[in-house]
Amino acid sequence: TQLLEQSPQFLSIQEGENLTVYCNSSSVFSSLQWYRQEPGEGPVLLVTVVTGGEVKKLKRLTFQFGDARKDSSLHITAAQPGDTGLYLCAGARGGSNYKLTFGKGTLLTVNP
């Protein structure tokens, strides 16, 4: 059973466009992390969200944690080719914050 559903699975856009990717679950998570993975490398943490309704901004990236802590979104403004990569969300459940459940990821391609 896939606890975290990410959508879309693939996204190909032109430089300068905006986009949103989603991470949804029927389960409540105590925290949720977003990672970006580039080809040939391991995932690298972008952000951790902890509080329901929390919004965090990282330059052109905006992360939101749903009020019920079951879902999250990542919005990128004016995408650039350097944003290309696999975006993974990962949730930690209460009492086990050191064991993450990963979604399948959204593969983003930003074309120049």
- What are the residues binding another protein (CB under 8 A)? 6, 9, 31, 33, 40-45, 48, 50, 88, 90, 92, 97-100, 102-105
* Smallest distance, another protein to C-beta of residue 83, A: 19
* Smallest distance, another protein to C-beta of residue 66, A: 17
User: Closer CB to another protein, residue 43 or residue 66?
Assistant: 43
Q: Can you tell me whether residue 82 is helix, strand or coil?
A: helix
Q: How far is CA 23 from CA 5, 72, 101, in A?
A: 6, 5, 12
* Smallest distance, another protein to C-beta of residue 16, A: 28
User: Closer CB to another protein, residue 16 or residue 94?
Assistant: 94
Cβ within 8 Å of residue 41, ≥6 positions away:
none
**β-strand pairing of 44-49 with 31-37:** antiparallel
